[in-house]
Amino acid sequence: MEGRVLSIQSHVAFGYVGGKAAAFPLQCLGYDVDLVNTVNFSNHAGYGRSGGSKTSAAELESIFQAMEFNELLRPTRVLTGYIPDAEALSAVARLVEKLRKQNPELIYLLDPVMGDAGRLYVSADVIPVYRSLLPLSTIITPNWFEVETLTGISLTDLHSLRLALTKLHKDFGVPNVAISSIPLTQWLSETLPNAIRPPTVSESEHLLCITSSVSNENSPSDVHAQCVPLLPGYFSGVGDLFSSLVLAHYNSSLESSLPDVEVPPFRTSLSEAVSQALTKTHAVLCKTFEYSERLPEEERLVTDDEKDAVEPIRKVRRMRGRELRLVQSIDIIRSDFGDATRRLERWSGFWENL
């Protein structure tokens, strides 16, 4: 793979979230990566305490202008992640719009990092700016909460999921949507084809990944999905890793991202890329979880808000042990999983009975 990625997202000195989780996989897969940091923190927020600063819009503009003056803004792909406020996000939006005009073939993956589990962790004024960015994107990788936030539609049944995808495609002009994770609740499980639905285990133990791609605005989108087991514990940087792998494996020519593999006519470049990303992300998570389980007992104490408040180092040690084992997963990142790939399957009948 060849290309140059401009990555605009958070940076931490310790651990693997934001650009630290994205750059290494992209580089392992053959991409040059230019990093612009939207924050510079000691560690991610899950530790409970951190030091550092946010990059202001003026500072971002200064970086972009200098790169442009020195003829260093030459990406073939752009990846944006965590951007904490509307002013900084607007500066990024202006840059992406300029790059898109200069190169209409530019591949732009927008990860609208806003929150999870029903809670925003950015300023609410970024929401309209993100909506204005959607038409510039090639791919977006929101989680279920971010889909709800962008569309204003609560995902409570198949009808609302259809409405949300339709709004993203038709109203916001997004050609490729990859919902990185959505809890496999009962309504969702009951609507899945047998090829996608997990065996007779508790649905609460699985997450669903969904892709939706449009090639013709007059036709329904092509929807694929796959389930993955939910690992216990809290891990950060997973979405950042997933998005970087989607971008790395995405091939807009609709050819397979794997050599000598013919893509069946019902598969899309997005479903192939997300299959690779989902497989590798889950494998990295499994390696991280296995490592955390082997740590001394004092570094893997269960979450207890009261005890963590009295003794903050409990939480710090727990978070430290759950940092992604990214460097140790270089073989996973570079692997061709072949038949072991968690391949997304076509969601037959998704648009039926409208």
- Using alpha carbons, select from 181, 160, 265 the residue that is nearest to residue 225: 181
- Using alpha carbons, select from 53, 146, 129, 122 the residue that is nearest to residue 95: 129
Residue 87 CA to residue 291 CA, distance in Å, equals 40
Q: Which backbone phi and psi does 36 adopt, to 5 degrees?
A: -120, 120
Q: At what angle do helices 238-249 and 19-28 cross, to 10 degrees?
A: 30
Residue position matching structure tokens 């198949």: 158
Q: Are strands 139-140 and 119-120 parallel, antiparallel or unpaired?
A: unpaired
Catalytic, out of 111, 125, 240, 260: 240
**240 belongs to the catalytic site:** yes
Alpha-helical segments (H) within 103-237: 126-133, 144-151, 158-166, 186-191
- How far, in Å, are 6, 45, 47, 159 from residue 60 at the CA level? 13, 22, 27, 41
Residue 247 CA to residue 251 CA, distance in Å, equals 9
Q: Which residues are catalytic?
A: 240
